[in-house]
Amino acid sequence: MLRRPRRNRQSDAIRKLTTETHLSSDHLIYPLFVVDGAGTKEEVSSLPGNFRMSLDYVLREIEECVSLGLDRFILFPAIPDEYKDKTGTYGYDPNNFYLRMATKIKEEFPEVCLISDVALDPYNIDGHDGIVRDGKILNDETILQLCKMSIAQAAAGFDILGPSDMMDGRVMAIRQDLDTAGYKNVGIMAYTAKYASAFYGPFRDALDSAPVEGENIPKDKKTYQMNPANKREALIEAELDTQEGADFLMVKPALNYLDVIHLLKENFELPIAAYHVSGECAMLIAACQKGWLNYEQAMPETLLSIHRAGADAILTYFAKDYAKLQKFGKL
């Protein structure tokens, strides 16, 4: 045998030399669920190790993450029902705690990168990312609301906005409004290929944001989120988001869509982000809790696979644990 691939695997020293993909916590973004008030830290039962936190706990959490070298966060608000309405007006209300929280975080930690969520579902009584009328999700009317939310978030101090709603044309509308309002340096991480996935369950539990059951309310998000069977359609979405001025193209979920991540990486120059979503993380946590998998091995392998597929940035509920493993030399 002339070729013995095992020669390059025979020692740790040689394996290091031939390692093709390196993942550092510099590529990770940590999602945080936030609530109004003070003194709240409640675990999300379907996503153990993740909490709904009020500002006081959020600041402590960010401080700890920064000490681990993790300084990028995406915030998702849980909104009390009394603030919800048909068009999500609380999303840009000057008293919105989410906006005030972002300002406070940036005051305390100006160096961290804060990413927002732009969508109506936390604020909408119907639990949809857009305005519902006569059983339909209105695209253009929703965009007007998303633009107002975006300006309010930029004013609050978010560095990057994350439109997660999948309305057509929203990236361009948001970009134009941001520029007109003078927020030229506020970026857009577009949820480009976001699929109508069954893996968002724990997230919707955390925020109580699932589509509401009722007459004339679509029971799922299939008219705006993408069909899991489709890959080429992701190229159309990516082309549009690129033309419309996005700074990042996101694929979501990540693990079941590694082929889509790879496809966008091969075809576009913008940085590719992947959202390793709540249900994907919950499966692994559950198996580890049962003793069926080893967390310190299975978790880094999972994140590595997303990076290897082509994701430059990974949004994952494991970001902090990964940063810990890295800091303590356990990777």
- Catalytic status, residue 290: no
Which of 285, 311, 309 shows the shortest CA–CA distance to 298? Answer: 285
Helices 258-267 and 232-243 pack at an angle, to 10 degrees, of 50
CB closer to ligand PBG out of 14 and 52:
52
Q: Active site residue: 84, 252, 265, 320, which one?
A: 252
Query: Left if phi > 0, otherwise alpha if psi is -120 to 50, otherwise beta: which for 245?
Result: left
Cα separation of 61 and 35, whole Å? 14
What are the structure tokens assigned to 242, written together?
């690129």
CB closer to ligand PBG out of 204 and 327:
204
CB closer to ligand PBG out of 268 and 318:
318
CB closer to ligand PBG out of 283 and 331:
283
Among 32, 277, 284, 314, binds ligand PBG (CB under 6 A): 277
C-alpha distances in angstroms, 181 versus 37, 92, 216? Answer: 30, 15, 37
In contact, 164 and 124? CB cutoff 8 Å: no
Q: How far is the CB of 202 from ligand PBG (least distance, A)?
A: 7
Task: Say whether 109 sits in a helix, a strand or coil.
Answer: coil
Is residue 278 involved in binding ligand PBG (CB under 6 A)? yes
Q: How far is the CB of 184 from ligand PBG (least distance, A)?
A: 25
Is residue 121 involved in binding ligand PBG (CB under 6 A)? yes
Pairing of strands 136-138, 41-43: unpaired
- Catalytic status, residue 324: no
Is residue 200 involved in binding ligand PBG (CB under 6 A)? yes
Is residue 119 involved in binding ligand PBG (CB under 6 A)? yes
Is residue 50 involved in binding ligand PBG (CB under 6 A)? no
In this chain, which stretch among 50-58, 170-178, 196-204, 226-234 interacts with ligand PBG, using CB under 6 A?
196-204
Q: How far is the CB of 311 from ligand PBG (least distance, A)?
A: 15
Say how many residues touch ligand PBG, by CB under 6 A: 12
Cα separation of 160 and 188, whole Å? 5
Among 54, 116, 142, 164, binds ligand PBG (CB under 6 A): 164
Among 73, 203, 224, 248, binds ligand PBG (CB under 6 A): 203
Cα separation of 52 and 31, whole Å? 11
HEC states along 151-169?
Answer: HHHHHHCCCEECECCCCCC
CB closer to ligand PBG out of 206 and 323:
206
| Residue 201, Cβ density class (10 Å: 0-12 exposed, 13-18 middle, ≥19 buried) | middle
**Phi and psi, residue 213, nearest 5°:** -80, 130
Binding site for ligand PBG (CB under 6 A): 117, 119, 121, 129, 164-165, 200, 203-204, 221, 277-278
Known catalytic residues? 194, 252
